[in-house]
């Protein structure tokens, strides 16, 4: 290990500051371009010892858990609280621009749809039972150490204001000191709590856990490893007027605000399309909204998610016909012959993207495509396949819903010709 003073030249894709030195680039977390910092260096990684000269883009972190002066970043939930809003948002938008450019794509990229404190409705906590309490928080960066939270400025008040309630429930669920995940989602009927990685409790522990849940108000459901333990109220999410009961621990967009923006772009893009395919449909974030305007065929690999979508479609008035299909689109994408009956296609895959599926789309002749992505790199790859086959990128909108992290979403609209 050596100590030296470096100037941060730029921010990397993972949010680390990069200092270009004679020995090569050095990556320094919790810095911003323009910082001059004293670091302890091991190979090409640096740890900030002190800030010799702060960049004008640096600010005090708004959360006590981020670390003194935003230097050491104790809590691993956020990595960029120390960066001022305007440069932070410009950097996030640039992540999308750079990913597209690396694939030779230079479409107009709109301004970032910003995230704000108190919007995150779905939070995945790390938890571990101790002798007297429950550690509940996030793992410190590059560590298994759980930083126990007293506050969380990114989470909705219904979650951030009930950390002690979550501790009591989490401790009742956990029979030992093994770490586990606690996924908490705000729903219209209360908090949906899913514990994963917990040893199956015996009957006595099970009854005690149920009693602990029932003693608290505002809890809709608690599940253990995907199995419902107790459900005082049916957890419900609103997807464009359709009430959806997501499966335990099921995926939802992290903020309602970002979901609404994405949905508005999708609905505007399909225009007057009469038949739409929604691929990687989840529990119906887009499909149920699309069904207000068009017939929808929703395809999803997760059985519980597609069942929730189907149930909501069957019980919601005013929708055009919705058909559902459980199918692994990575292994068995819809073929061109199956896609050609649609006027528009929407796809929202996991981080791996939709490469196999995207290769079939150009052969179908479908004129309008909307690509929703949580990974600019795989989005750029998928769009390059489509543009090489004759599609034009009409718009790209970057969206932030994971505030103060390197994660950025994007919605791209493509048209044939």
Quick one: tokens of 306? Answer: 């597609």
Structural domain spans, the chain: 2-58, 90-116+252-416, 122-237
User: CA-CA distance, 253 to 220, in Å (whole number)?
Assistant: 19
Q: Could you tell me which residues come within 8 angstroms of residue 294 by beta carbon, excluding any fewer than 6 positions away?
A: 270, 273, 274, 275, 276, 320, 343, 344
Q: How does DSSP assign 210-221, residue by residue?
A: HHHHHTSSSEEE
Give, in order, the Cα–Cα distances in Å from 264 to each of 166, 342, 372, 413. Answer: 34, 20, 12, 12
- Look at residue 69 in the predicted model and tell me its pLDDT: 46
- Look at residue 117 in the predicted model and tell me its pLDDT: 98
User: CA-CA distance, 27 to 18, in Å (whole number)?
Assistant: 5
Q: Within a 10 A sphere around the Cβ of 202, how many other Cβ atoms?
A: 10
- Look at residue 70 in the predicted model and tell me its pLDDT: 44
User: CA-CA distance, 336 to 366, in Å (whole number)?
Assistant: 9
User: CA-CA distance, 238 to 260, in Å (whole number)?
Assistant: 11
The pTM assigned to this predicted structure is 0.94
Annotation: CATH topology of 2-58: OB fold (Dihydrolipoamide Acetyltransferase, E2P) (2.40.50)
Task: Please identify which residue in the block is written with the tokens 């004293």.
Answer: 38
Question: Is 280 labelled a binding residue?
Answer: yes
Q: Which of 63, 78, 152, 374 is catalytic?
A: 374
- Look at residue 67 in the predicted model and tell me its pLDDT: 67
DSSP letter, residue 319: P
Angle between helix 163-173 and 203-214 (nearest 10): 160
Question: Is 409 labelled a binding residue?
Answer: no
User: CA-CA distance, 103 to 158, in Å (whole number)?
Assistant: 42
284's enclosing H/E stretch is none
Quick one: tokens of 110? Answer: 């709109």
What CATH superfamily classification does 90-116+252-416 receive? Vaccinia Virus protein VP39 (3.40.50.150)
Q: Could you tell me which residues come within 8 angstroms of residue 164 by beta carbon, excluding any fewer than 6 positions away?
A: none
- Which overall architecture, per CATH, does domain 122-237 show? Beta Barrel (2.40)
Q: Do domains 2-58 and 90-116+252-416 have the same CATH topology?
A: no
- Tell me the CB-side half-sphere exposure of residue 24, using CA atoms within 13 A: 7
- Look at residue 73 in the predicted model and tell me its pLDDT: 53
Q: Return left, alpha or beta for 14; rule: phi > 0 is left, psi -120 to 50 is alpha, else beta.
A: alpha
- Look at residue 225 in the predicted model and tell me its pLDDT: 95
Per-residue pLDDT of the chain (417 residues; tens, 9 = 90+): 778 999 999 999 999 999 999 989 999 999 999 999 999 999 999 999 999 999 999 999 999 999 644 444 578 899 999 999 999 999 999 999 999 999 999 999 999 999 999 999 999 999 999 998 999 999 987 788 899 999 999 999 999 999 999 999 999 999 999 999 999 999 999 999 999 999 988 899 889 889 999 999 999 999 999 999 999 999 999 999 999 999 999 999 999 999 999 999 999 999 999 999 999 999 999 999 999 999 999 999 999 999 999 999 999 999 999 999 999 999 999 999 999 999 999 999 999 999 999 999 999 999 999 999 999 999 999 999 999 999 999 999 999 999 999 999 999 999 998
The verdict on whether 374 is a catalytic residue reads yes
Question: Is 81 labelled a binding residue?
Answer: no
- Burial class (CB within 10 angstroms; exposed 0-12, middle 13-18, buried 19+) of 190: buried
Q: Could you tell me which residues come within 8 angstroms of residue 351 by beta carbon, excluding any fewer than 6 positions away?
A: 374, 375, 378
Q: How does DSSP assign 88-123, residue by residue?
A: HHHHHHHHHHHHHHHTT----BPPPB---TT-B-EE
Chain centroid offset of residue 400 CA: 9
- Look at residue 205 in the predicted model and tell me its pLDDT: 87
User: CA-CA distance, 330 to 283, in Å (whole number)?
Assistant: 18
- Burial class (CB within 10 angstroms; exposed 0-12, middle 13-18, buried 19+) of 104: exposed
User: CA-CA distance, 417 to 377, in Å (whole number)?
Assistant: 24
- Tell me the CB-side half-sphere exposure of residue 382, using CA atoms within 13 A: 30
Question: Is 300 labelled a binding residue?
Answer: yes
């Amino acid at each position: 290990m050596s100590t030296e003073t470096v100037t941060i030249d730029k921010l990397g894709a993972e949010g680390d500051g990069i200092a270009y030195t004679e020995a090569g680039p050095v990556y320094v977390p919790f810095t911003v371009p323009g910082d001059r910092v004293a670091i302890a260096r091991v190979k090409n990684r640096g740890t900030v010892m002190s800030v010799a000269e702060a960049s004008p883009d640096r600010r005090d972190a708004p959360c006590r858990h981020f670390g003194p002066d935003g230097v050491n970043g104790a809590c691993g939930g956020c990595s960029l609280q120390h960066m001022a809003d305007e440069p932070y948002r410009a950097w996030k938008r640039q992540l999308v621009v750079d990913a597209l450019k690396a694939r030779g794509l230079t479409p107009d990229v709109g301004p970032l749809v910003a995230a704000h404190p108190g919007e995150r409705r779905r939070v995945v906590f790390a938890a571990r039972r101790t002798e007297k309490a429950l550690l509940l928080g996030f793992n410190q960066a590059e560590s298994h150490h759980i930083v126990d939270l007293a506050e969380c400025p990114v989470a909705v008040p219904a979650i951030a204001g009930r950390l002690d309630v979550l501790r009591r429930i989490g401790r009742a669920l956990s029979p030992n000191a093994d770490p586990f995940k606690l996924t908490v989602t705000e729903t219209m009927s209360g908090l949906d709590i899913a514990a994963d990685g917990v040893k199956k409790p015996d009957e006595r522990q099970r009854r005690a856990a149920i009693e602990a849940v029932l003693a608290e108000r505002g809890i809709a459901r608690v599940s253990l490893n995907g199995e419902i333990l107790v459900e005082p109220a049916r957890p419900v999410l609103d997807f464009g007027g359709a009430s959806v009961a997501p499966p335990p621990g099921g995926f939802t967009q992290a903020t309602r605000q970002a979901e609404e923006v994405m949905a508005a772009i999708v609905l505007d893009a399909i225009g007057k399309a009469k038949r739409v395919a929604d691929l990687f449909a989840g529990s119906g974030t887009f499909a149920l909204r699309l069904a207000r305007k068009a017939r929808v065929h929703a395809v999803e690999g997760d059985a519980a998610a597609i069942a929730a979508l189907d149930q909501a479609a069957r019980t919601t008035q005013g929708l055009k016909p919705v058909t559902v299909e459980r199918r692994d689109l990575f292994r068995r994408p819809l073929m061109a012959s199956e896609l050609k009956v649609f006027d528009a296609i929407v796809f929202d895959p996991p981080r791996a993207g939709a490469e196999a599926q995207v290769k079939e789309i150009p052969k179908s002749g479908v004129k309008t495509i909307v690509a929703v992505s949580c990974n600019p790199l795989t989005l750029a790859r998928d769009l390059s396949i489509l543009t090489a086959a004759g599609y034009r990128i009409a718009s790209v909108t970057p969206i932030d819903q994971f505030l103060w992290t390197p994660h950025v979403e994007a919605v791209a609209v493509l048209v044939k010709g």
